[in-house]
Structure 1
Amino acid sequence: MSAGRYALLVATGRYENEDLGRLRSPARDAEELADVLRDPRIGGFEVTTVLDGRHHEVTRAIERFFLDRRRDDLLLLHLSCHGLKNNNGELHFAAGDTDRRLLASTSVPALFVHQQMRACRARSIVLLLDCCYSGAFLAGGKGDTTVHVGDELAGHGRAVLTATNRTEYAWEGERITELSPEPSRFTGSLVKGLRTGEADRDRDGLIGVHELYDYVYEELRDSGAGQRPQMWAEVEHRVVVARSVRQALPHAPGNEAPAPAPPPRPAPAPAGPPPTLAALLPLTEALAGLPCMEDAPGRQQFATALGQFLARRIDLRGVRQREDVVAIVRTALRQEGGEIALLSTVELFEGAAAAAEVRHRLPP
């Protein structure tokens, strides 16, 4: 039997308990996301939706969704609802009948979702969480926002994208108020990236889960939203969420992907890589070995100090070390005098000997 692509969308916007305000986004989120996931040109998923379900309906749907799957199946679970924490800081997903005083018996615990994912035979599972405090699903209970591979979710072929970190709210449009339905910022960006194909960053015609995260992160950052999506992933192979509808289109001007090669014609051979490219790799390797680059807070402090030298802000995702280091080095190399500023920052954090070692790595 061939592998299948299955999606379960759980959207809860109406609540019996008056303490839980009505949400305008979940129903629209489910509708829009289901459209692009079902589209045979894009997702090609078999989609099931649970709208405003009670807690026993949601838990049963989730357990059934992960049951009796084949190893080569791709499963995608999307939760759009209120995210609530109990007194121990544990995350719960609100259902239609949730009483926030009785979370253990009337909500969907994040632990339950963890357990169903761990028990599932499918090698590729993508979880999308659009709720407040959704980053708490990733954290190991230590109160930080860093994604740890050794957390409860650790396993084979799992990827989790969350709308926020452990402490942030997930925004609906411009306000968290009940108005006319519109997608949340997180799910709205997901849908846009899939529907337009803009999430296909390398223009190979396929949208992988890492590309989708990068697209959503940059969309929310550029929009000024006060939330930072998080990601955790451990997969043996590339997990393709969708095809790109832009595959057959010509590359747009200014797109970062390389344009199709023109017909051969006489041209001078390039003398070699530009100076910035020649320095990017050795500087990245040198900085990645510094103690100040070992954790996300250290990399952020380094980027802040370097940004003051360069008179510009350096935004880091704080998820993958090498990605942050590349962003730091690339920003420095694009600025006049950036290499000197980078070396000065290294000396500030690690001393003159470390700065000399980094300087030694630079190409002539």
Structure 2
Amino acid sequence: MESDDTAVLIGVSRYQDPSLPDVPAALNSLHAMHRLLTDPDLGGWSEERVFVLEDPVGAAESALRLHRLAEETTGTLLLYFVGHGTVTRTGELCLATGDTQIRYPDLTGLEYDKVRGALLESPAQVKLAILDCCYAGRAIRGLAGSEKDHLAEVTDIHGVYTLTAADRTAHVPPDQTAACTSFTGVFLDVVREGIPGAPRVLALSDIYPELKRALKTRGLPEPNQRGTDTVKAYPFSRNVAYAGGEGFRLVPQERVDFFFKILAAQPRHALTAVNLENLSDWPGVYLLHQGRNDAPEIVYVGKGDRSIAARLRDHLRKIDGRCHLDLDEFSFNYLKLDDDLDYVAPERLMISRLHDQGLSPAWNHNGFGNRDSGRMRDTIRIDSGNFDALYPIDLTRPLRTDGPALDLTAHELALHLKTELPYVFRFEHRRDALDSTRLTVPEGPLPADRAFRLLAAALGDQWQISALMGRVLMYLEQRRRYPSAVRYYAGEEVSDVIPDCHTLTP
């Protein structure tokens, strides 16, 4: 069963190898981190989504548990490890579990490469790793002078943040009876005390400078971090020192700014049928881009309450059937959110924030996202800035590029058009008339316009096919006029008209 957020906390305080002394402070740190995360006034994590692995004996057990939980996480994945860290012969960081042997860490410990694999394979959008152990800095920088050992190239994956306690030896206080390790202890102090002058919610980018300053002031090993600018903005905890004193939940502007930063930094994908087939059904938000350069224009901000893929398939189909648009220019990025989408990422506020930045998406509120508006809207005059007015349907679009001659009923051809056309084709279901009328589709290419001509000629002038700027109608009616029509078909007669639109004024 998939879940939004998962925190995996691993603490090892007891070791079988006498070369690895026990670390009672690790257990204290593990429990203290758990309390901080689940405190409703600080971390706000659900108890059910915080998994504590206390004194695991075997590395395989920990690796397997981590991988399984990571595979099920789609929102935020947090890994915290506290205990001994050692180095393999090839210079790789290895997290020591209860039965790790110092001489054979790669065979008996939890190699960081396995942690890296869990993060790589997880569908989580935000991935955080906090390592409180000796040599943890190697998860970021690798061995000095060696380009092979940059173990935290995992942080090149979008949305991963790594915070480490020390490049070499981590520090624990002399009396570990009730104390935490020095790194975790100071980290907890910073979060619990809050940061005056910082926002009401502490991002990782707020916490790290204070953590580094406090450790340096006390003469303790300095931490390291690595991550994209986006993930550093992850809201880790409420700021108890915030002067306004508002609650943990982000106010709308901050919430939208955070999610938009995350969303905008996701990798872009070409808007193709193949890419959408590979996109699993999941609710979330997305951006539609137009342009071939590295900074294409955002033309639409959307959400899929049930399926992002389904919404994007609708968009691909709509764009593909329009004049003046090149499907090769379009791309999208997305963010999965199994949550109340109206709360976490309301379209209205996201569009407003883009407008404030001078990047107002042109296709929001202009009819692009609308489906068939129904018979009552067919006679409405539309604005000249409406999507249908700017990009009318393409009547020259081929339904097939070649094929044999076909003998069909009018009803069979109408149903085929309804299925194959990338825009709405709505017709009156007069089965007696449509089933009794037969026609021949000649061999060779069949553009949409040719199909409508064949249908109209077969049905006679009692029927009218009306091609509007955004859809095509076929009804048993004569000489009815629609403001947004561009072409009429009635019997053998075909007439082009100029649509009547409202002109937008600046």
TM-score (normalizing by structure 2): 0.44
Post-superposition shift, 1:52?
Answer: 0.6
Whether 1:233 aligns to 2:235 is: no
Task: Say if 2:245 is the partner of 1:245.
Answer: no
Report the equivalent of 1:205: 200
Show the 5 A alignment for 1:1-364: 4-45=4-45, 46-54=49-57, 55-70=59-74, 73-143=75-145, 151-165=153-167, 168-173=168-173, 175=174, 179-198=176-195, 202-225=197-220, 227-236=221-230, 238-248=233-243
For residue 3 of structure 1, report the CA deviation from its aligned partner: 7.6
- Measure, in 1, the Cα distance between the counterparts of 2:145 and 2:69: 31
Aligned residue in 2 for 1:344: none
Larger helix share, 1 or 2: 1
More strand by share: 2
**In 1, Cα distance between the equivalents of 2:92 and 2:237?**
32
Contact 1:206 1:240 in 2 (8 A): yes
CA pair 149-91 structure 1, distance change in 2 beyond 3 A: closer
Does the CA contact (< 8 Å) of 1:124 and 1:235 recur in 2?
A: no
Distance of 1:32 and 1:80 partners within structure 2:
11
Q: Which runs of 5+ in 2 are unaligned?
A: 246-506
SS at match of 1:151: helix
- Contact 1:194–1:242, Cα closer than 8 Å, also in 2: yes
Displacement of 1:172 in angstroms is: 0.6
Shift of 1:102: 2.2
Alpha carbons of 1:242 and 1:88: their partners in 2 closer, same or farther (altered >3 Å)? same
Cα 1:69/1:2, change in 2 over 3 Å: closer
Q: 1:202 to 1:23 in 2, by over 3 A?
A: same
Is the CA contact (8 Å cut-off) linking 2:138 and 2:151 kept in structure 1?
no
Q: Tell me if structure 2 keeps the 8 A contact 1:118–1:153.
A: no
Residues 117 and 150 of structure 1: CA distance in aligned 2, closer, same or farther (over 3 Å): closer
- Distance in 1 (CA, whole Å) between partners of 2:62 and 2:210 is 29
3-state SS of the aligned residue for 1:246?
Answer: coil
Partner AA of 2:60 in structure 1: H
Partner in structure 2 of residue 324 of structure 1: none
CA distance in 2, matches of 1:128, 1:152: 14
How far off its partner does 1:151 sit?
2.9
* Kept after mapping to 2: 8 A contact 1:156/1:235: no
SS of equivalent residue, structure 2 residue 9: strand
User: Aligned AA for 1:42?
Assistant: L
Instruction: Give the drift of 1:150.
Output: 8.6
C-alpha distance in 2 between matches for 1:122 and 1:130: 22
Query: Is the alpha carbon distance of 1:131 and 1:149 closer, same or farther for their aligned partners in structure 2, counting shifts above 3 Å?
Result: closer
What is the distance in 1 between the residues matched to 2:120 and 2:229?
14
* 1:278-323 alpha-carbon deviations (Å, 9 max, x no partner): xxxxxxxxxxxxxxxxxxxxxxxxxxxxxxxxxxxxxxxxxxxxxx
Whichever residue aligns with residue 5 of structure 2, its letter is: R
Q: Which amino acid aligns with 1:50?
A: L
Aligned residue-pair number:
239
> Matched residues in 2 for 1:80 and 1:185: separation?
11
SS at match of 1:161: strand
Specify whether residues 66 and 106 from structure 1 end up closer, same or farther in structure 2 by C-alpha distance, changes over 3 A only: same
Kept in 2: contact 1:16–1:97 (CA 8 A): yes
Q: Distance in 1 between matches of 2:92 and 2:152?
A: 17
In structure 2, give the amino acid aligned to 1:185. S
Q: Secondary structure at the match of 2:6?
A: strand
Does structure 2 retain, via aligned residues, the 8 Å contact 1:159–1:235?
Answer: no
Partner of 1:321: none
* CA RMSD, Structure 1 to Structure 2 (Å): 2.6
Larger C-alpha radius of gyration, 1 or 2? 2
Q: Is the 8 A contact 2:202 2:238 kept in 1?
A: yes
Residues 151-210 of structure 1: per-residue CA shift (max 9 Å, x gap):
343111011010012xx211012x4xx742311111011111122223xx6432111111
User: Shift of residue 234 of structure 1?
Assistant: 1.4
Partners in 1 of 2:239 and 2:129 — Cα distance? 20
Question: Per the alignment, in what secondary structure is the counterpart of residue 153 of structure 1?
Answer: helix
What's the secondary structure of 1:187's corresponding residue?
helix
Which whole-Å CA distance do the structure 2 matches of 1:2 and 1:22 have between them? 36
SS at match of 2:137: helix
Q: 1:140–1:151: 8 Å Cα contact kept in structure 2?
A: no
Higher relative contact order (CA 8 A, sep 6+): 1
